[in-house]
Homo-oligomer: A and B are copies of this chain.
Amino acid sequence: MKRRVFFVSDGTGITAETIGNAILTQFSNVEFDTFRLPFVDTVEQAHKAVARIADRGASGAGRPVVISSVVDAQVREVLAGVDAFVLDVFAPFIAPLEDELGTQRSPRVGQAHGLVDYDQYEARINATNYALSHDDGIDLTYDDADVILVGVSRSGKTPTCLYLALHYGIKAANYPLIQEDLERQELPRRLLPHRKRLFGLTIDPARLAQVRETRRPGSQYARLEQCRWEVAAAEKLLRAERLPVVSTTHSSIEEIASKILNTLGIDRHMF
């Protein structure tokens, strides 16, 4: 039986779930079952949440753990009555920060992931559209790109571009290295003016073969020999061009995105 954990929030629940998961990761020796209870922003919703926690929590190991980012005082009062071990995500930080900043907090409920303004929203949407229209495009210019990812087909360029767009409003294009580039050991000329924004992705050949096999079973494209040759040639080229490179084999999309921003010195704020 696993210990049951409930992320309770008066907003999207993203803050509670992010910090909650990070805290639980510190206990790699315990097994958890996690549940998300977002938009608990009225007394009525709070009573429902308490009932759900009692109901579902009963079948877990030990009493349920509640990780809460609820700000509203009335909702918190109801939640305090739950038969569970409750951790409040904000409580430990507010008083010390009030002291340090010399001001009382003036909270906004559920606003951490709410819409701030149209400009920010637009930046994300425009960047997403940019990523979609500059995905594996052979005949495009890259003048507007903040970042251009370079790598062989299926090395992880597209999801990384979309993640950079959605989370940082970054215009990320990508260029797939083709047979011709690999044979000539040269980057296509139109990439050269953007050298400072180029970033290489690589991947373990066996993993690449596996990914391509799912995509096009039994193809030459998915053969291990082909993948080995492409990856070796791509890594040689990227090294010769002295481009920063990260391997996507053992990294999450978040790690890859974070490394790219850090290496290229882009300090955009997360949404």
Residues of A participating in the B interface, judged by any CB pair closer than 8 Å: 3, 11-15, 17-19, 21-23, 25-30, 34-36, 38-39, 62, 65, 69, 71, 85, 87, 89-90, 92-94, 96-97, 100-101, 103, 105-108, 111-116, 121, 124-126, 128, 132, 156, 158-159, 162-163, 166, 211, 214, 250-255, 257-259, 261-262, 267, 269-271
Contact = CB atoms under 8 A, between A and B. Distances in A.
B97 A18 contact: no
Given A35-B267, A166-B166, A262-B39, A11 B255 contact: yes
Nearest to A87: B93
A126 B159 CA distance: 10
Contacts of A108: 25-26, 28
A216 to B, nearest CB: 12
B26 A105 contact: yes
A166 B116 CA distance: 22
Given A258-B13, A270-B17, A97 B22 contact: no
B267 A27 contact: no
A101 B3 contact: yes
B111 A25 contact: yes
24 contacts: A11-B255, A11-B258, A14-B270, A15-B22, A23-B97, A25-B108, A25-B111, A25-B112, A26-B97, A26-B105, A26-B108, A27-B101, A28-B107, A29-B103, A38-B258, A38-B259, A39-B262, A92-B93, A115-B251, A128-B158, A128-B159, A128-B162, A132-B158, A162-B166
